[in-house]
Structure 1
């Protein structure tokens, strides 16, 4: 008998150096609850999702023990149909929000310097939606990516899958590492990698992209400073290659003043960052809530911690939400809007980011069927 989605581990993660599952009976809606449980014994681990709306609740965190990943099974690769009606309405909403944001950034009533706006693409599935088959495809497509599959604690028929490009925070005792990304350009498949790299380096050096990246690095530097006795932040960003796009990235390393600083305290300061929100943070959040609604786990954090001072979290980006009961998957991606942004540029950037999961769904192959559903 083929196992159902509910028979599989609740948390799965794999990248080039790590592959692990977490399964267990413990469930937590906040990082603080999970930290308390972790302090109660050895050989415990917590993995899952922290939402974009980092209000201390709404997490999907699962407690158990780290274990080697379950044996991969082939499963049935589903066929997907483009939901024309839903996507037409969503595209109209997104374009309207872009127009409003550009007006606000150009001197409107809101005091915005940057806001990150996202859109959704929905695909309907023919037959069974097998999330472990999708996870296997993600791992095969992006062996160097930070690949995840997590059950939604609040909607058990829903799973979040993806291949994150961005390390948010890795901590071991009092040592921390971050690699924030901001400033994105679609790759040009017509060029050789060397020529495209030169093109990306030239275009990403413009004021629009450099200012977008500087907002993020300055925010993290200021947020980390009270916690760190040492903080190394390169003066210039570097070019980072992801599956379908180029990013500007800045690797950050630091030493915490005390290894007793709680993860929940640091997350309260650092998340959400301008990489997924905007500047000023409160005004950008207000704009996002008004024009997108609640994001839940999109642009949140995905990862695990196996002790009070050890963790590894990534941005929950380049992903999808698979609703097994409803029979559809929602892809979501966004981009930072600043002065100098244009609607065609932003629409193209978001489309390039969505290509990471479109490839997983084989949307350039024979499995895509257009539907008015």
Structure 2
């Protein structure tokens, strides 16, 4: 299917309030689309059905999905036409800044009291749009961030979500798997070298250690790479790759996902304390933000799931953008506020024509 026809099909599906998902893997110029034939909300419990899964941060056994068997499936080539990115200024109120800095300070207090090593706190930014065209958002999103996992998801019961995430939750192939430990954030330019400070290096090591510990029960072999700089659009992160062999007859995509999610990169460590802190103090529902999503191959042996970062929700002409950061003992509240502003730029770039 040609790109123009795919865009027309997308608009028709959205107009009829029928579910769909479009996605492209990192560095891929192929867009895969599922257009569901009816408006039923499907769920998956064990990740064995060929489908696209969309799971919330508050992970449950029954997660939303669009099954391939209930959909029309298309693959379409999409040329890279990404433009140079310039920061977009969207005003923030003093109340928004103060609220987030106070949240960071509460997390720091818990860390000083030795209740946690790291807590990830986030905020949302609600923006009124001048209009909305689903196909134009799709084309802009997918062309701006060719190195990210890009997706556009819609179901009338969940509204429209889209994003460009740099982070793999897990990739499985036969009995092997890959995941990553991603932490630390700086603005990125190919012309400027990146230097990571002690706080960022420590935060990334906390994430790496927690991920490897959580995988011990479901793996036979674990290997961890040295940390390196990973570019993601206008941002850079510190990344280590974790690879291993799943325990024969025991580990499935479902068990490894439960072991990993939510990772220290989106929740914190210890996991349960960080989750309870987020629930009590963030004062909003993350929904699908910092959940996970991706294509399930159906045989439980060849699938890839991504952490839902750099994401937004669109309902009518209102966009809700999300951003957060990992708080450790070296965090500074104002610097954490600035980091969320940097991260919001990813989706602001997509919305630029309709702001």
Q: Same fold (TM over 0.5)?
A: yes
2:210 is the counterpart of 1:219? yes
Is the alpha carbon distance of 1:312 and 1:291 closer, same or farther for their aligned partners in structure 2, counting shifts above 3 Å? same
2:318 is the counterpart of 1:328? yes
Is the alpha carbon distance of 1:27 and 1:334 closer, same or farther for their aligned partners in structure 2, counting shifts above 3 Å? same
2:62 is the counterpart of 1:61? no
SS at match of 2:210: helix
1:165-184 alignment, distance < 5 Å: 165-184=166-185
Mapped to 1, the partners of 2:218 and 2:130 lie a distance apart of 50
SS at match of 1:154: coil
**How far is 1:144 from its partner?**
2.2
**How far is 1:21 from its partner?**
1.6
Mapped to 2, the partners of 1:331 and 1:358 lie a distance apart of 8
Is the alpha carbon distance of 1:281 and 1:300 closer, same or farther for their aligned partners in structure 2, counting shifts above 3 Å? same
SS at match of 2:255: helix
8 Å CA contact retained: 2:293, 2:308? yes
Mapped to 2, the partners of 1:165 and 1:99 lie a distance apart of 27
For 2:286, the equivalent position in structure 1 comes to 295
For 2:14, the equivalent position in structure 1 comes to 5
Identify the match of residue 22 of structure 1 among 28, 34, 50: 34
**How far is 1:117 from its partner?**
0.8
SS at match of 2:115: coil
8 Å CA contact retained: 1:231, 1:252? yes
2:244 is the counterpart of 1:265? no
2:147 is the counterpart of 1:144? yes
SS at match of 1:98: helix
1:300-319 alignment, distance < 5 Å: 300-307=291-298, 308-319=300-311
The more displaced of 225-234 and 350-359 is 225-234
What RMSD over aligned residues (CA atoms) do the two structures have, in Å? 2.6
Structure 2 unpaired stretches of 5+: 1-7, 79-88
Mapped to 1, the partners of 2:52 and 2:173 lie a distance apart of 16
Is the alpha carbon distance of 1:148 and 1:83 closer, same or farther for their aligned partners in structure 2, counting shifts above 3 Å? same
SS at match of 2:185: strand
The more displaced of 348-357 and 143-152 is 143-152
For 1:277, the equivalent position in structure 2 comes to 267
Identify the match of residue 246 of structure 1 among 230, 236, 243: 236
SS at match of 1:53: coil
8 Å CA contact retained: 2:41, 2:157? no
**How far is 1:154 from its partner?**
3.4
SS at match of 2:289: coil
Q: Give the TM-score taking structure 1 as reference length.
A: 0.80
Q: Give the TM-score taking structure 2 as reference length.
A: 0.84
Structure 1 unpaired stretches of 5+: 39-44, 73-81, 369-373
